[in-house]
């Protein structure tokens, strides 16, 4: 199997060739470089969105496994990294829903007692993030953790730039309020 080499200056964008002459390389190397260059950012994004590092790592691993299975088409996508991020986020959301439903069922049946000890600072931050909508958490993570522009986030999410700006604005405002309220009670 082969894949096209990306043009210099592109970050895993569409394949380009000089005057219609394709440059071909081994897809294993292309995928390996893609994984090495991008996987940590995907883990960070999913972790920021979920607050669960193990879930983030698992979903990222599964997203890259799916990309590898479809590397012939994924590598030719306009933005392969966006494809992987979207798959990882969707896997995390799906797993989070399953875990939430399972935890709620256990709680209601009194089968699980909450005894985990975590730092007070982490509790404050996680609770503040949980108070935000999933859409606000997602754009905040993309903007602040991946340093993506409003336009890049809009393209990644398939949403208008104005919607992304509004989500950033309201997300920051809600996070500040949640942290301000928690800090007042905490400290």
- C-alpha 142/C-alpha 150 separation (Å) is 9
Mean pLDDT throughout 24-40?
A: 77
Q: pLDDT band at 172, cuts 50/70/90? A: very high
Considering only residues 61 and 20, tell me which one the structure prediction assigns the higher pLDDT. 61
Report the topology of domain 25-116: Rna Polymerase Sigma Factor; Chain: A (1.10.1740)
Q: pLDDT band at 182, cuts 50/70/90? A: low
Q: Please state which CATH class domain 118-187 belongs to.
A: mainly alpha
Residues of the chain with CATH 1.10.10.10: 118-187
Q: pLDDT band at 126, cuts 50/70/90? A: confident
Closest CA to 24 of 15, 13, 34: 15
Angle between helices 27-50 and 80-108 (to 10 degrees): 40
Residue 148: pLDDT above 60? yes
What residue spans of 109-159 are helical by DSSP H? Answer: 120-130, 134-140, 150-157
Is residue 80 within 8 A of residue 63, CB to CB? The reply is: no
- C-alpha 154/C-alpha 133 separation (Å) is 17
Residue 13: pLDDT above 60? no
């Amino acid at each position: 199997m082969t894949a096209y080499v990306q043009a210099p200056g592109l970050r895993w964008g569409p394949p380009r060739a000089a005057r219609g002459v394709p440059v071909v390389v081994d897809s294993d190397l292309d995928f390996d470089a893609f994984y090495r260059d991008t996987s940590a950012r995907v883990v960070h994004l999913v972790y920021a969105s979920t607050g669960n590092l193990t879930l983030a790592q698992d979903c990222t691993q599964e997203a890259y496994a799916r990309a590898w299975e479809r590397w012939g088409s994924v590598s030719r996508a306009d933005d392969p990294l966006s494809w992987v991020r979207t798959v990882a986020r969707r896997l995390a959301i799906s797993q989070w829903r399953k875990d939430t439903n399972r935890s709620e069922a256990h709680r209601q049946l009194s089968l699980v007692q909450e005894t985990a000890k975590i730092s007070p600072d982490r509790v404050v931050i996680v609770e503040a993030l949980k108070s935000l909508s999933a859409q606000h958490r997602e754009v905040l993570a993309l903007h602040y953790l991946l340093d993506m522009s409003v336009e890049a986030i809009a393209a990644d999410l398939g949403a208008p730039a104005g919607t992304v700006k509004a989500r950033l604005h309201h997300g920051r405002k809600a996070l500040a309020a949640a942290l301000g309220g928690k800090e007042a009670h905490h400290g």
